[in-house]
Each structure stands twice: as C-alpha cells, then as structure tokens.
C-alpha cells in the first residue's frame, strides 16, 4: 500500500509539474540520454527536451496521428518514468469493466498509461455534464484515486 | 484755291493753315469727323488734307463717302501711322498722296502743289517762273528758252525749290526729299551745301532770273532776282 | 550627365552594395544550412552506428577514420556522464579523389558517448565539409556574374523605359530648344498622360504666355510710343520752320532755332527707325514678292553715288550672280541701303566700297578704321563704335532684325583690311 501512495503522489504531482519544467535543447542533454532515447524510439517526432527537476524529460509523438509520449530519464540514461497517451480501447479489461460498473454514462477523456519502474497505472478523466472526475487505476482495476476536477 | 485741313490736333491744324495761307490759299479747317463730313458735303475744295485718325470716325470712311459722291481726288492723307495697309487703302479709295507725320512744311507745300498742278494741268506739266521753265515731263530746264544741262539730282533740287518758291526749304527737308533717307547724318549738310553751290553756278552762268538764298545756315530760299 | 547615365550610376552603385551585402549574408546562411544538413546526416549516422555496435562488437574497437569515417573508444563512466553531443569544425588529413597525397581537409565532427552493456564508449564521426575559401571564391564569381547580368538588364530596361516613358519629355525639350519668342508660331506641346510631364507643360506654357505677353507689350509699347511722338514732333518742326521763315528773328536767335530744328530732326529719324524696328519685329511687312537684289543694289549704289563722290569714296558693284529673294521690297531696299550707307559714311578719304553679289550672298566691304569692330555688339540697338557720330545707332540693328525676320544669315568680319558685312539670303 505504501508504494501506491508514492505512485499516486507522484502521478498527481505531475498534473501540476509541467509549468516548472524548463525547455532545453538536445545539445544540452547528456549524450548517454540522447543516445538511449534515440535507440529506443528511432521514429520519434516533434522531440522536445525539458529539464524537470534532476531529470531529463523528453516529449515526442509517434505515428501519423501522433500519440503523445513523455519519458523522464536520469543522467545515465535510465528511464525513471514514462507516460503515453492511449485510446480508451487499449485500457486493460479489468479497468474497463470497473469503469463500466462505476462510471456508466460518463464520457472518458485524456486516457494515459503511466509507468514508473515496473508499476503501471492508468489515469483518465470521466465527465458528465454535471461532474468531472480525475481517476487513477492499477492494472487489475483498483481505483487508486478519485479527484473532483 | 481752297484747301480744307482735316486735323484733330489743333496746334498742327493752325500751323498747317498758317503755312498754306502764305501760298495764298483759302484755308478751312475741321477738327473731327462730323464737321469734316459736313464741310465736304457742302463745299467743293481744290485740295483736302485728311488725317486718318479722327475723333468720331476714321478718315478712311470720309474717303469712302467722297468716292460715293464723286468728289474724290485732290486729297492728301496725313497720318502718324506709317502703315502700308492704310496707305494702299487710302490710295485705292482715291487719295492722291500719303504723307507721314512728321513732315517738313516744304514737303507739304510740294505735295499740295503737285496735286493742284495735276488738277489744273492743261496737257503740259511744267513750271514757269521768271525767265525759266522746268519741264517735268521731258525733264528739261530752260533759261530764256535755252536748254541748261542739269543732272538728275540737280533737277530734283530745283523742282523742289520751285514748288516752294519764296519759302524756306531746310537742308533736312531738301535732303529727305531728294536723297531720301540716305543722308541722315548731320555732318552731311556739307554735301548739301556742295550740291547747292554747283546748282547756283549753273543758274548764274545760264543767266537765270532766280537765285537760291541761304537762310541762317539752316536752309535756302528760291527767289526772283 | 544624361538622366540615363545618372540613374544608371545610382542603380549600379546601390545594386553593388545590395549585392555585396546579400552575398555576405547568403554565404553565412548557406554555410549554416550546409552544417545543419551535415549535422543531421551525422546524427542519423550516429544512431545507425550505435545500433550496429550493439550487434557487432567488433565495431567497438574501430580506432581510425578509414572506412566508415568514425572511431569508437571506451571511456570512463565519469567522462561519459559529462559528455554531451558536440559538433566541431576541424581539419583532418584526408585523401580526396582529386588529391595525390593526403591533405588537411575541413570536416564536421560529431562527438558523442553511449553505453553498451554497462560500458561506456566515445563515438566520433566525421563528414567532409566544403572548403570555405572555395565556397567564397565560387560565391564571389557568381555574385559578379549576377551583378553584370543585372547591369545589362538595367541598361536595357532603362533605355527602353527612357525611350518610351520619357519620349514626351524629350520631344517637348526639343521643341522648347527650337522655340523662339516672337518667331515660333506654335507653342511646344507633347502628347502625354503622365502627370509630371503635363505639369511641366502647363508650367512652361504659363511661363511662355507671360514672356510672349511682355514681349508683345514691349514691342507694342515701342510702336505706340513712337506713333504718339509723331504728331508733337510734326507740330514742333513745322512751328519752328514757320518761325524762321517769318524772318523776324535776329540771326543769333535764328541759328539757335536752327539747332533745335536739327535736334528735332534727329529725334524724328530716331523715332522713324524705332517704328521701323518695331514694325519688323511685329511682322507688319507682309508684301512679299520676288525681288531682284541686283537691281536694288544697283539703285542703292546710284543713290549713294553723289554722296560717295563728295566724300571721295569709290563704290564698286560686282554682280556675278543674279539673286532673287522672296521678301518685302521696301525691306530689301532698307537692308542694302543701310549697309551701303554704313560703308560709305564710316569710310576714309579716297576709300573704297565694294558690293559683291555671288551665289546667294551679298558682301559689302569697305575701307575704314584699321581696327576690327566689335562683332558681338555691332548689330545691337544704339551701339556706336564712335560716340561722336550723329547716326541713330539703329541702322545695323534694323538690318539684323530684317535678317532675323526672313531667316537670313548676317555676319561681320575683317577681311584683307576691309570691314566686311555679308548676308546669305538662303533661308535657313
């Protein structure tokens, strides 16, 4: 349960963190990070680097439709965190069924898959005309947080 | 002989009248178009001196009227306007001569007399005076019936003097009349003097009854001895 | 300097400056563009090498740039952590196809670091660069060519434009050059839609109108003034003549009156000359007919004969050719008799006046003072070479005015010690 708390804290902190990030050019990023990234994602487009705390954050899109990706590297080129925009259909079945039960009739938006180390969580926004929730689930469909937006 | 002077400039009118009276003409004057027109309609004149620019109308119109009434002739235009057009028109309308202002009195006398003589001429165009005769047609000069040879200019000089007998002929008037505008240099009065001297010699040796007197160095006068 | 050349001068200088500046900017932009393109190539190459190295560990021992243009060497972790991708311009000994021995060639080098299986490597890649002095040379030549082509194009376009656009202007200018107030009947005019040219025409027209008006006024004034003087002069002359004739004056008084009469006589002649001049200039002589100048010269010589004899001057008339001219007879007489009178009166005792008629020219030459007259001013009004002379000073001015009226050419020169006036009666 303790790790969950950390993950949630981390995940939630990210909603607010972007404004503190500082744009940097690729030449300011260590070679190890750049090469690691380039080897892993040779087809990345619209690559933008940011300095985010002690980490190097890279934003890019993949494919023609452009699904957004964000990866945080440490100085040695190890991935610390990864976020990717996914479609609703790509959510695990467990999560989908949970949503179907608890949030039937809600419109889902901004679905993201967040990996930190080996843990994976999914965040999304569920909206009706009246209310709007930010939700977080783990792979097996446990609702980790629910915040009114 | 009756002469009408039509001239609006009173001083000039008086002077012309004064001069012509010395030739024993009867002079009448008119100062504007109306009075001139009236006088010309009422009386006959032997000679008319007509200024073209008149108060009340152009002198050329008077000429027109005269021509219509058959009274044209013996008319001399006197004008300040030395315009060929006017001259031609005037002569066409029956004027006998055209005299441009300013002119010498001797020149006026000569022109008037020439016009009058043409009118009274009986086939013979000659001037007789004392014992001499100047035949203008044959250009002969006779003293007591004997031919005296004169050159062309001497003949003209004598003619001019005879038209102005007993009157002053200034050197200027003489030069202009005989030599035209060719001597307008003052120092050439010597030349006139020289010409007159020659003419005098010829008159004297031919026994002519006339002589040319010098007047104050300004001109000459032809008189009977 | 012509407008064409002036605009060409400014254009060529400013284009040279612009082109020079452009060449510098272009050079640096091109260099940057080349480097960016080379850098991009190097980066792609880098990805490929790192991927290949993961599969083929033999690459990790490549120490020199032969074949493949890259080197890999192991490095410490500490160094690797600090490494950032850097692009360098440097020189390397290389052998190009056209070089016999290896030469220092400019290269672009990318230095990077990567990690493979927990070990760190430094990767250097090179790409041959253009030689900058070659680039400069090439660019310079191209710029010069461009400049020349532009210049030729500008000259061509300029000529075309000037000929087309400026034609009304040059037309107008030409007409204006030939325009003479009082002589030319038609005012300068050019067909144009261009506002500036129209304005110019309006301005010139206004100016000419003023000039013509004042010219005519001046002419008319002289004419009118002379006219108005005729009657008073007539009265004065006639009154004085009658006064003398009366014979009532003492001889001293009479002589004074005679002097006044002479002075009035001079005024009359002056006035007549002015009237004649103004009539000539106002073109009041229109009775043009075919006139034989030989006949007129003969008459004029005859008229002057006695005066010439009196002055001891011999007049010789040489009529070699018949000259017939279409002009007013009285003006023809005036021209010749004025010149002849001039020649007789400004002569010396025992002197000579020669009148020669040859082809279309009349030449009247005479003996006289030894020095030449002032050819510049001799035809000016009231010019007198000798202030003591009693002439009006208008005789030659009248001759000149008549020549101008009919387009005859008159000249004065000294020839063999004779003062020589010549008129060419061919109408120019």
Contact C390 B187 (CB under 8 A): yes
Which of the residues B84, B86, B184 would you substitute to probe the C interface, choosing the one with the greatest number of C C-beta atoms within 10 Å?
A: B184
What's the domain range around B151?
Answer: 126-224
CA distance B197 to C305: 18
Quick one: average pLDDT of A68-72?
92
For chain C, give every domain's residue range: 3-156, 195-281, 289-424
Please name the chains neighbouring C, where neighbouring means 3+ C-beta pairs under 8 angstroms: A, B
Q: What is the pLDDT of residue A16?
A: 44
> What pLDDT does A15 receive?
47
Exposure letters C115-149 (e unless 16+ CB within 10 A, then b): bbeeebbbbbbbbebeeeeeeeeeeeeebeeebee
- The confidence score (pLDDT) of residue C403 equals 92
Domain boundary, last residue among B72, B90, B120: B120
State the Cα–Cα distance between residues B106 and B173, nearest whole angstrom.
Answer: 7
Q: How far is CA B169 from the centre of its chain?
A: 11
What is the architecture of the domain spanning A88-148?
Roll (3.10)
pLDDT value at position C145?
93
Chain A interface includes C117 (CB < 8 A): no
Which of B87, B104, B120 is the C-terminal boundary of a domain? Answer: B120
Contact C47 A36 (CB under 8 A): no
> For residue C115, what is the nearest residue in chain A, using CA coordinates?
A32
Mean pLDDT value of segment A56-76: 88
Give the dihedral of Cα atoms C328, C329, C332, C334; nearest 10 deg. -110
The pLDDT of residue B143: 92
Both structure tokens of A15: 């909603």
- Dump pLDDT digits (tens) for A124-147: 888 888 888 888 998 888 888 888
A135 with A145: CB under 8 angstroms? yes
Across the interface, do A39 and C86 touch by the CB < 8 Å criterion?
no
How many beta-carbon pairs under 8 angstroms link A with C? Answer: 49
Topology alike, domains A21-82 and A88-148? yes
CB contact under 8 A, C46 and A42: no
* Interface contact C231, partner B, CB < 8 A: yes
Please report the DSSP string for chain A in residue order. -HHHHHHHHHHHHHHHHGGG-EEE-GGGSBHHHHHHHHHH-TT-EEEEEEEETTEEEEEEEETTTTEEEEEEE-TTS-EEEEEEE--GGGS-HHHHHHHHHHSTTPEEEEEEEEEETTEEEEEEEEE-SS-EEEEEEETT--EEEEEE-
Single residue among B100, B120, B140 that ends a domain in this structure: B120
User: How far does Cα C222 stand from its chain's mean position?
Assistant: 36
- The 8-class DSSP code of residue C417 comes to T
CB contact under 8 A, B184 and C275: no
Asked whether the beta carbons of residue B101 and residue C310 sit closer than 8 angstroms, the reply is: no
Confidence at residue A60, expressed as pLDDT on a 0 to 100 scale: 93
Q: Give the CATH number of the domain where residue B144 resides.
A: 1.10.10.10
Q: What is the mean pLDDT of residues A43-48?
A: 90
* ω into C259 cis (within 30 of 0): no
Largest CA distance in chain A: 49
Chains touching B (at least 3 CB pairs under 8 A) are C
Based on the fold, state whether residues B90 and B152 are members of the same structural domain: no
Distance, CA of B195 to CA of B157 (rounded, Å): 9
Per-residue pLDDT of chain C (428 residues; tens, 9 = 90+): 777 788 888 888 999 999 889 989 988 998 899 889 999 999 999 999 988 988 888 888 888 887 778 899 888 988 888 888 899 888 888 776 666 777 788 889 999 999 888 889 999 999 888 777 888 888 889 889 999 999 899 888 888 887 788 888 888 889 988 888 777 778 888 888 889 889 999 999 999 999 888 888 887 787 788 878 888 998 999 999 889 888 788 888 888 888 898 888 888 888 888 888 888 887 776 678 899 999 999 999 988 888 888 889 999 999 999 999 999 888 999 999 999 988 988 889 899 999 999 989 999 999 988 888 887 888 888 887 665 555 678 888 999 999 988 889 999 999 888 999 999 998 76
Cβ pair A30:C50 closer than 8 A: no
Whether residues A28 and C120 touch (CB distance < 8 A) is answered with no
A30 contacts C47? CB cut-off 8 A: no
DSSP lists the bridge partners of residue C366 as: C353, C419
The alpha-carbon gap from C94 to the nearest alpha carbon of chain A, in Å, equals: 27
Nearest to C84 among A29, A42, A77 (CB): A29
Tokens of C424: 């060419």
Confirm or reject contact between B18 and chain C (CB < 8 A). yes
A33 touches chain C (CB under 8 A): no
Q: Does A76 touch chain C (CB under 8 A)?
A: yes
Interface of B with C in 166-225 (CB under 8 A): 167-168, 170, 172, 179-188, 190-191, 194-195, 215-219
Closest Cα to residue B63, out of B53, B74, B72? B72
Domain range C195-281, its CATH number among 1.10.10, 3.30.360, 2.60.40, 1.10.287: 1.10.287
- For chain A, the structural domain boundaries read 21-82, 88-148
Give the whole-angstrom CA distance, residue B221 versus residue B210: 10
On whether both B8 and B116 belong to a single domain, the answer is: yes
Chain A residues near residue C115 by CB distance under 8 angstroms:
32, 35-36, 76-77
Touch between chain B and chain A (3+ CB pairs, < 8 Å)? no
**Is residue A109 scored above 70 in pLDDT?**
yes
Q: Which of residues 289-318 of C touch B (CB under 8 A)?
A: 303-304, 306-307, 310-311
Does A32 lie at the interface with C, CB-CB under 8 angstroms?
yes
Radius of gyration of chain B (CA): 19
Question: What domain count does chain B have?
Answer: 2
Here the CATH number for the domain that contains residue B103 is: 3.40.50.2300
**Contact yes or no for C147/C95 (Cβ under 8 A):** no
The span from the CA of C426 to the CA of C364, in Å, is 17
Minimal Cα–Cα distance from C340 to chain B, Å? 9
* List of chain C residues whose C-beta atoms are within 8 Å of the C-beta of residue A30: 81-84, 113
Quickly list DSSP for C266-296: HHHHHHHHHHHHHHHHTT-----EEEEHHHH
What one-character-per-residue DSSP string does C328-376 give?
-HHHHHHHHHHHHHHHHHT--TT-EEEEEEETTEEEEEE---SSPP-TT
Q: Which residue of A has its CA nearest to C123?
A: A31
- What's the confidence (pLDDT) of residue C149? 93
Residue C238 is nearest to which of B105, B167, B179, comparing CB atoms?
Answer: B105
Reference C366, options C302, C297, C323, C308; nearest CA is: C308
For the full predicted model, state whether its pTM sits above 0.95: no
pLDDT (tens digit per residue) in C190-249: 888 889 889 999 999 999 999 888 888 887 787 788 878 888 998 999 999 889 888 788
C341·B18 Cβ contact <8 A: no
Q: Are residues B206 and B110 in the same domain?
A: no
Q: Count of CB atoms within 10 A of residue B71's CB?
A: 17
Q: Same structural domain for residues B25 and B85?
A: yes
Q: How far apart are the C-alpha atoms of B196 and B153, rounded to whole Å?
A: 11
Angular region, B70: left φ>0, alpha ψ -120 to 50, beta rest: left
| C85 to chain A: closest CA residue | A31
* Domain C289-424: CATH class, spelled out: alpha beta
pLDDT, one tens digit for every residue, chain B (225 residues): 889 999 998 999 999 999 999 888 999 999 999 999 999 888 888 899 998 888 888 888 888 888 888 776 688 998 887 666 677 777 877 888 888 888 888 899 999 988 888 766 555 678 888 899 998 888 899 999 899 999 888 999 999 999 898 888 988 888 888 877 656 555 567 888 888 999 999 999 999 899 999 888 788 999 998
- Predicted confidence (pLDDT) per residue in C363-412, tens digit: 999 998 888 888 788 888 888 766 555 567 888 899 999 998 888 999 99
Q: Is CATH 3.40.50 the classification given to domain A21-82? A: no
Query: Which is it for the CA torsion C181, C187, C188, C194, positive or negative?
Result: positive
- pLDDT of res. B17: 93
């Amino acid at each position: 349960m303790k790790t969950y708390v950390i993950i949630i804290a981390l995940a939630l902190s990210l909603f607010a963190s972007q404004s503190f990030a500082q744009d940097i050019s690729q030449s300011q990023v260590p070679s190890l990070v750049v090469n690691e990234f380039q080897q892993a994602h040779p087809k990345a487009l619209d690559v933008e680097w940011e300095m985010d705390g002690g980490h190097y954050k890279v934003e890019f899109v993949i494919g023609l439709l452009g699904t957004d990706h964000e990866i945080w590297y440490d100085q040695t080129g190890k991935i610390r965190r990864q976020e990717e925009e996914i479609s609703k259909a790509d959510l695990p079945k467990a999560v989908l069924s949970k949503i179907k039960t608890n949030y039937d009739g809600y419109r889902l938006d901004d679905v993201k898959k967040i990996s930190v180390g080996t843990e994976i969580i999914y965040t999304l926004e569920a909206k009706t005309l009246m209310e709007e929730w930010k939700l977080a689930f783990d792979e097996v469909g446990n609702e980790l947080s629910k915040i009114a937006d | 002989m009756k002469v009408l002077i039509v001239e609006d400039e009173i001083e000039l009118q008086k002077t012309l009248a004064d001069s012509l009276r010395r030739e024993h003409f009867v002079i009448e004057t008119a100062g504007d178009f109306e009075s001139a027109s009236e006088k010309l309609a009422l009386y006959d004149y032997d000679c008319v001196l007509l200024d073209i620019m008149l108060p009340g109308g152009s002198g050329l119109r008077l000429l027109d009227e005269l021509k219509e009434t058959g009274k044209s002739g013996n008319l001399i235009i006197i004008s300040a306007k030395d315009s060929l057009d006017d001259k031609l028109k005037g002569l066409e309308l029956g004027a006998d001569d055209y005299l441009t202002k300013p002119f010498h009195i001797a020149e006026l006398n000569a022109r008037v007399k020439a016009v009058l003589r043409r009118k009274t001429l009986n086939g013979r165009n000659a001037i007789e005076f004392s014992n001499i005769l100047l035949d203008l047609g044959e250009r002969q000069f006779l003293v007591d019936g004997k031919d005296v040879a004169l050159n062309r200019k001497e003949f003209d000089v004598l003619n001019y003097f005879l038209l102005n007998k007993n009157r002053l002929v200034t050197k200027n008037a003489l030069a202009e009349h005989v030599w035209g505008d060719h001597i307008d240099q003052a120092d050439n009065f010597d030349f006139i003097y020289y010409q007159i001297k020659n003419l005098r010699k010829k008159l004297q040796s031919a026994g002519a009854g006339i002589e040319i007197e010098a007047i104050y160095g300004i001109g000459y006068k032809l008189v009977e001895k | 300097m012509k407008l064409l050349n002036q605009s060409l001068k400014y254009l060529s200088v400013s284009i040279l400056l612009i082109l020079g500046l452009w060449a510098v900017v272009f050079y640096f932009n091109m260099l940057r563009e080349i480097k960016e393109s080379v850098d991009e190539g190097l980066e792609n190459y880098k990805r490929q090498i790192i991927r290949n190295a993961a599969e083929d560990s033999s690459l990790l021992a490549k120490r020199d740039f032969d074949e493949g243009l890259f080197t890999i060497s192991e490095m410490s972790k500490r160094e690797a952590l600090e490494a950032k991708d850097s692009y360098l311009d440097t020189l390397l000994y290389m052998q190009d196809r056209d070089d016999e021995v290896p030469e220092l060639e400019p290269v672009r080098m990318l230095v990077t670091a990567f990690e493979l299986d927990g070990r760190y490597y430094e990767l250097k890649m090179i790409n041959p660069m253009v030689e900058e002095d070659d680039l400069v040379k090439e660019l310079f030549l191209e710029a010069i060519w461009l400049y020349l082509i532009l210049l030729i194009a500008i000259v061509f376009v300029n000529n075309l434009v000037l000929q087309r656009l400026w034609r009304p202007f040059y037309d107008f200018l030409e007409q204006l050059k030939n325009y003479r107030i009082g002589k030319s009947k038609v005012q300068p005019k050019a067909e144009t839609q261009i506002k500036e040219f129209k304005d110019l025409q309006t301005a010139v027209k206004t100016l000419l109108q003023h000039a013509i008006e004042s010219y005519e006024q001046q002419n008319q004034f002289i004419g009118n003034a002379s006219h108005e003087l005729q009657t008073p002069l007539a009265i004065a002359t006639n009154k004085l003549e009658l006064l003398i004739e009366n014979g009532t004056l003492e001889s001293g008084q009479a002589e004074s009156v005679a002097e006044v009469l002479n002075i009035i006589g001079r005024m009359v002649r002056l006035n007549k000359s002015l009237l004649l001049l103004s009539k000539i200039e106002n073109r009041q002589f229109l009775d043009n007919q075919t006139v034989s100048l030989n006949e007129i010269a003969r008459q004029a010589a005859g008229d002057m004969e006695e005066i010439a004899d009196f002055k001891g001057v011999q007049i010789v008339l040489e009529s070699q050719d018949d000259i017939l001219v279409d002009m007013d007879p009285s003006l023809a007489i005036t021209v010749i008799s004025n010149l002849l009178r001039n020649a007789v009166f400004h002569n010396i005792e025992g002197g000579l006046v020669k009148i020669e008629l040859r082809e279309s020219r009349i030449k009247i030459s005479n003996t006289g003072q030894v020095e030449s007259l002032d050819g510049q001013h001799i035809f000016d009004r009231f010019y007198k070479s000798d202030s003591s002379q009693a002439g009006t000073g208008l005789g030659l001015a009248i001759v000149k005015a008549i020549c101008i009226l009919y387009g005859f050419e008159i000249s004065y020169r000294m020839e063999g010690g004779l003062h020589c006036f010549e008129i060419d009666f061919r109408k120019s």
